Amino acid sequence: MILDHLKKFGGITQLTALREYGIMRLASRISDLRKEGHSITKTMLTSTSRITGKPVHYAQYTLG
């Protein structure tokens, strides 16, 4: 599912993985895909929390 998502949409975050597929350990599944030989890049992004107004950091994975 993750690989198909990456091919279709270009990237995935933990929140998307949880909401769309019920995947709670995205980093582990990305590690599995890398072991299978897929080239996946992690980019750290920053956004502002809607609740606290403070910066939050999260990873986005893309094929690369």
- Percent of the chain scored above 70 by pLDDT? 100
Q: What is the pLDDT of residues 28-50, one digit of tens each?
A: 999 999 999 999 999 999 999 99
Neighbouring CB atoms inside 10 A of 19's CB total 10
Given a cut of 90, is residue 64 above it in pLDDT?
no
The model's pTM: 0.90
pLDDT at 54: 98
Instruction: Report DSSP letters for 3-60, one per residue.
Output: HHHHHHHSEEEHHHHHHHH--S-HHHHHHHHHHTT--EEEEEEEEE-TTT-SEEEEEE
pLDDT at 10: 96
Rounded alpha-carbon distances, angstroms, from residue 10 to 26, 41, 49, 60: 15, 11, 24, 10
